[in-house]
């Protein structure tokens, strides 16, 4: 048969299919490929944080269970620990499953997820569930915080928007991305959720800089950010109250003051597992202030180890990006890392009285429902974008040339 002819099989004749075609999906093969390509150092750092988180929630669970018990219902001491174990296994499945998927599918899925979460965030001010004076959750059979799932989807969708410049430098990607993050910021301020608004804007700023933002515009963005913060202080009660409380210093039994004193109560090596006393007065011991519980029961040395682990994750992703040649992957990895690392360090700074209280959990360590699954999805995306074929050599992306080409326009 010549090259231009189409072969028509005879009646009853079976065609020889390509190797692997028509067979069931080979999960064993995919797992072997995944294990070869995944960054095992990054995976080990993540699992180390999850193990520390499991122990920390076990330490904090009695305090939160006692605080949330009522005369009618007494929660067992390990109530939150038992739920946390289930959520950790679910999160681990989400993380590994996400990192197994091809990047093209993750990009499309994240764009759809971002659209769905934005729609749900529009509903939050209308039908949202209020907790401690803030409407951030929707009750849909379970308590869902759309902004948590928007974070990883935002990083991927924003990277997709900013990478348009590779196809056509004339597309106003900075303006489009700015409008996108401004819409998210406005929806968050309605909840109110100033902390997450700052986190999204910070991640966007990191990504637009890596996308080749002209250097002369960076000063304009910084000035605009300062102006927005000043406007928030003058016209946004939630921001003004938190900033005033931070600048004025903590009062006795203030949440942040209690957290700081709990953190220091254990000294360098801690009072011992389940021997902490200060944690019993601490609100949200299993979520927002779990870092302080770790400090009291396990000591400042373990707190320092946690800081090192977070820094190691951030640096590991950056090292992994050195030889990357795709702008979309670089932007996606930087956005995910900025959101993950930014949330972790804001939480720790709040516990140290170095930042106003923001109501943020400590990623991979704090107890959480939808937030735990969202964080594991974020880490799964990080593992996916840092996957590398060890036999494939790449030409590094020239960031300096990108800046120079933008400055020349």
The answer to whether the Cα torsion of 355, 360, 365, 367 is positive or negative is: positive
The answer to whether the Cα torsion of 142, 145, 151, 154 is positive or negative is: positive
Using DSSP's 3-state secondary structure scheme, residue 130 falls into strand
Residue 404 banded pLDDT, cuts 50, 70, 90? low
Q: Any idea how long the chain is?
A: 409
d(CA 298, CA 343): 22
Chain CA centroid to CA 165, Å: 25
Asked if residue 295 lies in contact with residue 262, where contact means CB atoms within 8 angstroms, the answer is yes
Percentage of the chain lying above the pLDDT 70 cut: 78
DSSP 135: E
Closest CA to 33 of 82, 80, 101: 101
Which helix or strand (DSSP H or E) is residue 139 part of?
Answer: strand 134-139
| pLDDT one-digit tens code per residue, 263-295 | 888 889 989 888 888 888 888 888 889 999 999
Asked if residue 155 lies in contact with residue 224, where contact means CB atoms within 8 angstroms, the answer is no
- Cis-peptide, bond into residue 192, ω within 30° of zero: yes
Ramachandran sector of residue 408 (left: φ over 0; alpha: ψ -120 to 50; beta: rest): alpha
* Distances in whole angstroms, Cα of residue 195 to Cα of each of 32, 139, 175, 202, 227: 40, 22, 23, 11, 17
Q: Tell me the β-bridge partners of 130.
A: 135
The full 3-state SS of 199-265, as one line of letters, equals HHHHHHHHHHHHCCCCHHHHHHHHHHHHHHHHHHHHHCHHHHHHHHHHHCCCCCCCHHHHHHHHHHH
d(CA 330, CA 168): 18
d(CA 14, CA 9): 8
Closest CA to 370 of 98, 136, 59, 106: 136
Q: What does the pLDDT read at residue 156?
A: 96
* Distances in whole angstroms, Cα of residue 271 to Cα of each of 73, 300, 350, 352: 30, 11, 22, 19
Name the residue ranges covered by the structural domains of the chain: 39-387+397-407
Which of 228-237, 362-371, 400-409 comes out lowest in average pLDDT?
Answer: 400-409
Which of 104-113, 207-216, 282-291, 356-365 comes out lowest in average pLDDT?
Answer: 207-216
108-118 average pLDDT score: 95
| pLDDT one-digit tens code per residue, 119-177 | 999 998 888 777 766 778 888 777 788 999 999 999 999 999 998 877 777 788 888 88
Closest CA to 256 of 304, 291, 217, 216: 291
| pLDDT one-digit tens code per residue, 381-390 | 999 999 987 7
pTM of the model: 0.83
* Distances in whole angstroms, Cα of residue 56 to Cα of each of 168, 272, 296, 363, 366: 49, 12, 11, 12, 8
Give me the numbers of helices (H) and strands (E) for the chain, helices first please.
16, 3
Chain CA centroid to CA 164, Å: 24
């Amino acid at each position: 048969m010549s090259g231009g002819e189409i072969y028509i099989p005879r009646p009853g004749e079976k065609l020889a299919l390509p190797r692997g075609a028509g067979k069931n999906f080979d999960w064993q093969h995919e797992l072997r490929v995944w294990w070869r390509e995944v960054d095992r150092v990054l995976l080990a750092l993540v699992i180390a944080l999850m193990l520390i988180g499991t122990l920390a929630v076990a330490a904090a669970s009695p305090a939160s269970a006692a605080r949330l018990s009522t005369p009618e219902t007494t929660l067992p001491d390990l109530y939150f620990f038992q739920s946390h174990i289930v959520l950790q296994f679910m999160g681990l499945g989400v993380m590994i499953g996400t990192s197994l998927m091809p990047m093209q599918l993750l990009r499309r899925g994240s764009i759809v997820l971002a659209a769905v979460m934005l729609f749900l965030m529009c509903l939050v001010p209308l039908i949202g569930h209020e907790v401690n004076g803030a409407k951030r959750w929707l009750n849909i059979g379970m308590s869902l915080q759309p902004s948590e799932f928007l974070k990883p989807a935002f990083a991927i969708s924003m990277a997709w928007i900013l990478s348009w410049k590779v196809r056509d430098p004339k597309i106003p990607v900075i303006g489009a991305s700015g409008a996108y993050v401004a819409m998210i910021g406005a929806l968050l301020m309605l909840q109110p959720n100033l902390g997450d608004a700052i986190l999204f804007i910070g991640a966007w700023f990191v990504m637009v800089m890596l996308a080749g933002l002209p250097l002369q515009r960076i000063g304009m963005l910084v000035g605009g950010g300062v102006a927005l913060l000043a406007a928030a202080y003058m016209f946004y009660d939630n921001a003004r109250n938190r900033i005033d409380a931070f600048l004025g210093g903590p009062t006795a039994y203030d949440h942040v003051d209690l957290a700081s004193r709990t953190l220091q109560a254990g000294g360098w090596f801690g009072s011992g597992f389940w021997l902490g006393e200060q944690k019993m007065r601490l609100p949200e011991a299993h979520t927002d202030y779990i870092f302080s519980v770790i400090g009291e029961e396990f000591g400042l040395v373990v707190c320092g180890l946690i800081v090192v682990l977070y820094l190691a994750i951030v640096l590991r992703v950056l090292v992994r990006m050195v030889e990357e040649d795709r702008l979309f992957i670089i932007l996606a990895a930087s956005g995910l890392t900025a959101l993950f690392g930014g949330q972790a360090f804001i939480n720790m700074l709040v516990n140290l009285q170095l930042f106003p209280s923001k109501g943020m959990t400590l990623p991979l360590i704090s107890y959480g429902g939808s937030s735990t699954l969202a964080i594991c999805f974020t880490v799964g995306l990080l593992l996916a974008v840092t996957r590398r074929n060890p036999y494939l050599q790449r030409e590094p992306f020239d960031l300096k040339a990108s800046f120079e080409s933008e400055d020349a326009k």
